[in-house]
């Protein structure tokens, strides 16, 4: 995960909170910014819909 403040690539995970979503508290060792990331569950159905929309967008756009 890249630091949102200074774009440093190696941020540290301070804590992980697991429930139906996974939250990770991270800290950037370079600038000291701490922030939280949340993992979102995507089902196959959602992924298929996304793929269809992406394809449709491609077809709608004249090249
Ligand atoms: Zn940083």
- Quickly state the pLDDT bin for 50 (edges 50, 70, 90): confident
Res 38: pLDDT:
93
CA of 32 from ligand 1 middle (Å) equals 6
List the Cα angle 56/59/61 in 5-degree steps.
110
Residues in Cβ contact with 11 at an 8 Å cutoff, skipping those fewer than 6 apart: 1, 2, 3, 26, 27, 28, 29
CA of 8 from ligand 1 middle (Å) equals 5
The model's pLDDT over 7-49, given as tens digits with 9 standing for 90+, comes to 999 999 999 999 888 999 999 999 999 999 998 888 888 888 8
CA of 38 from ligand 1 middle (Å) equals 18
CA of 31 from ligand 1 middle (Å) equals 4
Q: So where are the chain's domains?
A: 12-60
Q: How far apart (Å, rounded) are the C-alpha atoms in residues 55 and 22?
A: 30
pLDDT at 59 over 80: no
Res 19: pLDDT:
85
pLDDT at 63 over 80: no
Residue matched to tokens 């600038």: 31
User: Taking a C-beta distance cutoff of 8 angstroms, is the pair 1, 26 a contact?
Assistant: yes
């Amino acid at each position: 995960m890249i630091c949102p403040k200074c774009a440093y690539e190696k941020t540290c995970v301070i804590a992980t909170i697991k429930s139906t979503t996974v939250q990770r508290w991270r800290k950037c060792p370079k600038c000291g910014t701490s922030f939280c990331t949340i993992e979102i569950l995507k089902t196959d159905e959602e992924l298929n819909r996304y793929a269809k929309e992406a394809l449709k967008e491609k077809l709608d756009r004249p090249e």
